[in-house]
Amino acid sequence: MAYVLLGDAYMSIQEPAQAIEVYETALKMNPKDDVLAEKIGQAYVQCHFYTKAINYYEAALKSGRKPVMRMRLAELLFQLEYYEKCEKVLRQALDSDQNPTGKLINYFVAI
């Protein structure tokens, strides 16, 4: 918990590179923490390490962190104007979930 708070503090003072290091240490202690994994991806984006963020989100999807990571990945791909790849990610979400339409609509309305 202390590492997460420290990482959050680094993020709040615009030091995402340091936050990544701390968050990764915390994730080693709690590898199933999806919120923490999401924070790492967001920190990569804030550092403008977009390729690393994409790779991180894709790896997180393979390890089972599906809904939030898929939406974060789709959001990033859309912002980077990788529309075809974004569409593919969203179609995978639609194919894998029984009733995702409402979730997807709510998510993209919030963006």
Per-residue pLDDT at 3: 93
Domain, as residue range, for 74 = 2-110
The beta-carbon contacts of 7-12 under 8 Å, at least 24 apart in sequence, are 7/39, 7/43, 8/39, 11/39, 11/43, 11/46
**Total structural domains in the chain?**
1
pTM of the model: 0.78
Tens digits of residue pLDDT in 87-101: 999 998 888 765 545
Rounded-to-integer distance, Cα 70 and Cα 90, Å: 8
Give me the mean pLDDT over the 3-8 stretch: 95
Q: How many CA atoms are closer than 13 Å to the CA of 54, on its beta-carbon side?
A: 14
* Number of Cβ within a 10 Å radius of residue 104: 16
Q: Which residues contact 40 (CB under 8 A, 6 or more apart)?
A: 20, 23, 24, 27, 56
CATH number, residue 39: 1.25.40.10
On the question of pLDDT at 109 being above 80, the answer is no
Rounded-to-integer distance, Cα 87 and Cα 10, Å: 33
